[in-house]
């Protein structure tokens, strides 16, 4: 059941795959009711290191993306599941 499914991706969003195909797949999953969450990669100093352009395209396709510290991770995921846009 898609509405009860959560897909979490931890990535730098530089996948080396077809970006249009990836966006189409994300949109299809989001449109089906799957909850998509994108967690941007952090370096050893907890500085975000990811392709912001592709991450923004994924947001537009229905996948919220955040670059959060491990301390903030549970709060962000909880906010997303509850439907809050924090």
Rounded to two decimals, the pTM is: 0.87
Q: Of 51, 29, 32, 30, which Cα lies nearest the Cα of 40? A: 51
Domain borders along the chain are 2-82
CB neighbourhood size of 55 (10 A): 21
Distance CA 4, CA 6 (A): 7
Distance CA 21, CA 29 (A): 12
Segment 29-74, tens digit of pLDDT: 999 999 999 999 999 998 999 999 999 999 999 999 999 988 899 9
3-31 average pLDDT score: 92
């Amino acid at each position: 059941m898609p509405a009860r499914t959560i897909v979490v991706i931890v990535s730098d969003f530089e996948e080396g795959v077809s970006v249009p195909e990836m966006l189409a797949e994300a949109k299809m999953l989001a449109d089906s009711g799957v909850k998509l969450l994108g967690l941007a990669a952090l370096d050893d100093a907890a500085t975000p290191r990811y392709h912001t352009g592709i991450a923004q395209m994924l947001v537009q396709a229905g996948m919220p993306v955040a670059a959060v510290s491990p301390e903030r991770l549970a709060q962000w995921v909880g906010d997303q599941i509850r439907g809050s846009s924090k």
